[in-house]
Structure 1
Amino acid sequence: MKQKTAPISTFQKYLSLWVLLCMAVGILVGKFLPAAPEFLGKMEIARISIPIAVLIWVMIYPMMLKVDFQSVKQVGKNPKGLFVTWIVNWLVKPFTMYGIAYLFLFVVFKAFITPELATEYLAGAVLLGAAPCTAMVFVWSTLTKGNPAYTVVQVATNDIIILIAFVPIVKFLLGVSNVSVPYSTLFLSVFLFVVIPLAGGIFTRLGVVKSRGKEYFESTFVHKFDGITTVGLLLTLVLIFASQTEVILSNPLHILLIAVPLIIQTFFIFFLAFGVCKAIRLPFDIAAPAGMIGASNFFELAVAVAVALFGTTSPAALATTVGVLTEVPVMLTLVKIANRSERKFHE
């Protein structure tokens, strides 16, 4: 039985507005109730925020419920989408991020940013560029009706490459010989943001299908979680911006300047990956997530590493936080662009 599609609610229709409101609420909480983010900030393991991890589970779990592992077995029959993801994410994205960020920070905005600050902002941008999306891509995939099984494999293989390639790429691009990236953060991020929600989704699916049948699961049970992903996203934004309020408010102009190259990079990488997928005639439900993985960033990891290397209030940490600030509205825009192109995708 074909799954019924939940109608778009007024809440989802104006999601971009809700995102901006939640960012504002987060900053207000950080400004007037600083004890709240300070308390939550102490709840971490290997610099990974446990409250954020829980909220990411809330976002990802409904997506994982839709993963039918009978479908995962079919991914190998159409590996071209994986090749596009790997090539764009690791042979293109880190280097275009470096080039675009360097151009704007050291040349275009030279009159507004000192070389010392530009160097640290560039470091933050490189950390974002070397960490393609792992967790949030499940949200974007859901919003573009991406193939759940294929998205899981794209993300899983991406996680393996992160463990191997992240440190060498960052060292090469920044020319830093003694970058000490916390591997515990890398491994724990993958475990928390992918393994746990995936296991939860698998066991839930197996249990419900066994007790109530596949038809009930696909037509009724899975739709009980419609909207939960969006709520998790909005609460995550409130928490992140509450914890970074002081840094954001003390650098308003620089936030705008940092945002420009990050936004340009995001659009460029999306259209590159999405365009290649279209050119090689991959189906839309594979092409859309492939574009989203490259365009968005594993900002949880980038922020954690920036804090570990340069400090919480450092310019590098600010640059990764701006990545969070720009990513959600920009990615929602790309979701709309992708969805509008679906009908004409192969014309």
Structure 2
Amino acid sequence: MSSFERYLSIWVALAIIAGLALGQIAPALVGFLAALEYGSVNFVVAILIWFMVYPMMVAVDFSSLARVHERPKGMIITLVVNWLIKPFTMAALGVLFFDWIFAPFIEPGTSGQYIAGLILLGAAPCTAMVFVWSQLTKGDPNYTLAQVSLNDAIMVFAYAPIVALLLGVTDITVPWETLVLSVVLYVVVPLVAGIATRMVMTRGAAPAEAEGLISAFTGRIKPFSILGLLATVVLLFGFQGEVILSQPLVIGMIAIPLLIQSYGIFAIAYWAAKAWRVPHNVAAPCAMIGTSNFFELAVAVAIGLFGLNSIAALVTVVGVLVEVPVMLSLVWFANRTRAWFPAEEPPLRGPRPRQRA
């Protein structure tokens, strides 16, 4: 790990300060950049996410994906956490804090929207940033891609029914433009670029030589991934700087259940992986995928249901701001607890050869 990566938490803190300052110093520029979006997907952030995701996509051995199911433990843990635990714990925390603990400090009749925003976040597993967290913990890129792809497929069918059940609302409309555009921009485009790069670089090379070439290449471009992360943090906090500075008490109240949810869900998934003796290069991304949220989808649904300036939409936005520092702290923790897990299994190598009769 380079000295730059070792002090990543400091750079992120400085990026948060820079984002808040940018929102105050150049509000017109920030407003222009924020307006470059469609379906709650900001194109500037999408480009920066490409920088972050691309190195991991280059490391994906496409031929080995067919054998990911041979190591199902990480997938089982993440699926249980994402779809059977996380939405319901988020709803319970929302009720606890905004119907009871924080009720004296919010406007009467608004608790439902706070709870709704939390549910919309909790029911949407992340699509893009998990590739970054996985890369920072030296996660298995093949597992990460397979798990994200499976979550995306389940989300098409399960997101609306779960949200409808928890909100008691039957007319949930999934914003397909947000869902499809996010998957295309954050997964498909960098994956195609990564596969093309891998094919060009390893053409005619032996397997061992090919892996060496890929490893050297991803090592050279990794700094651009970190810079992309820092620039994304600057933009996210710049976009919402006015809200943060004008409503610090509200932001703090929303952040508390989100923090409890994030660290609690990570603990459940990480300890389950440890107990089940899952190798660290799967256990870390397994817990990260279970913890992070698909905030673009949550924001889009909140706006569609409650309006652009609603409390529910504000809650989903705060979810974005809380997630980045939290996930970086979990990356730090995962990297320092690598010894808790069994030795990492060798990567899967293409389809298993057929046995002769």
Q: Which residue identity does 1:61 align to in structure 2?
A: Y
Match of 1:163, SS?
Answer: helix
Compute the displacement of 1:211 (Å): 6.5
Q: How many residues align?
A: 340
Partner of 2:353: none
CA separation in 2, counterparts of 1:285 and 1:86?
17
Q: Which residue of 1 aligns with 2:140?
A: 147
What is the RMSD computed on CA atoms of the aligned residues?
A: 1.8
Change beyond 3 A, Cα 1:21–1:307: farther
Of 285, 289, 292, the residue aligned with 1:289 is 285
Q: 1:268 maps to which residue?
A: 264
Does 1:181 pair with 2:174? yes
- Aligned-partner Cα distance in 2 for 1:346–1:24: 39
Q: Distance in 2 between matches of 1:176 and 1:247?
A: 28
Matched position secondary structure for 2:104: coil
Distance 1:159 1:268 in 2: 23
Cα distance in structure 2, aligned partners of 1:290 and 1:219: 22
Aligned to 1:345: 341
Q: Which runs of 5+ in 1 are unaligned?
A: 1-7
Is 1:332 the counterpart of 2:328 in the alignment? yes
Instruction: Render the CA deviation track for 1:70-99: whole Å, top value 9, x for unaligned.
Output: 332321211222111111100110000110
Distance between the aligned counterparts of 1:117 and 1:247, measured in 2? 18
Contact 2:140 2:282 in 1 (8 A): yes
TM-score (norm 2): 0.90
Query: Which residue of the partner structure matches residue 101 of structure 2?
Result: 108
- 1:126–1:173 Cα contact (<8 Å) kept: yes
Structure 1 runs (4+) deviating above 3 angstroms are: none
- Provide the rounded CA distance (Å) in 2 between the counterparts of 1:30 and 1:132: 29
Q: 1:235 to 1:309 in 2, by over 3 A?
A: farther
1:170 partnered with 2:148:
no
CA contact (8 A) 1:62 1:228 kept: no
Equivalents in 2 of 1:340, 1:215: separation in Å? 26
Question: Gaps (5+ residues) in structure 2?
Answer: 344-357
Q: 2:69 aligns with which of 64, 76, 97?
A: 76
In structure 1, distance between residues paired with 2:242 and 2:162? 30
Q: Name the SS of the counterpart of 2:109 in structure 1.
A: helix
Query: For 1:87-236, what aligned pairs fall within 5 Å after superposition?
Result: 87-210=80-203, 214=210, 217-236=213-232
CA distance in 2, matches of 1:275, 1:47: 34
> C-alpha separation between the residues in 1 aligned to 2:297 and 2:27?
23
Percent identity between matched residues is 51
* Closer/same/farther in 2, CA of residues 90 and 115 from structure 1, 3 Å limit: farther
Q: d(CA) in 1 for partners of 2:230 and 2:115?
A: 28
Corresponding residue for residue 251 of structure 2 = 255
2:26 alignment partner in structure 1: 33
> What is the distance in 1 between the residues matched to 2:39 and 2:340?
46
Q: Is the contact made by 2:53 and 2:131 (CA closer than 8 Å) also made in structure 1?
A: yes
User: The residue matched to 1:343 in structure 2 has which SS?
Assistant: helix
2:78 partner letter: T
CA spacing shift, 1:215–1:47, aligned 2, 3 Å:
closer
Post-superposition Cα deviations, 1:232-290, rounded to whole Å, max 9, x if no partner, equal 11111221222222322221101111111100101111111111122222211111111
Segment drifting more, 310-319 vs 185-194: 310-319
Contact in 2 for aligned 1:181/1:309 (Cα 8 Å): no
Amino acid at match of 1:340: R
Tell me which amino acid in the other structure corresponds to 1:162. Answer: M
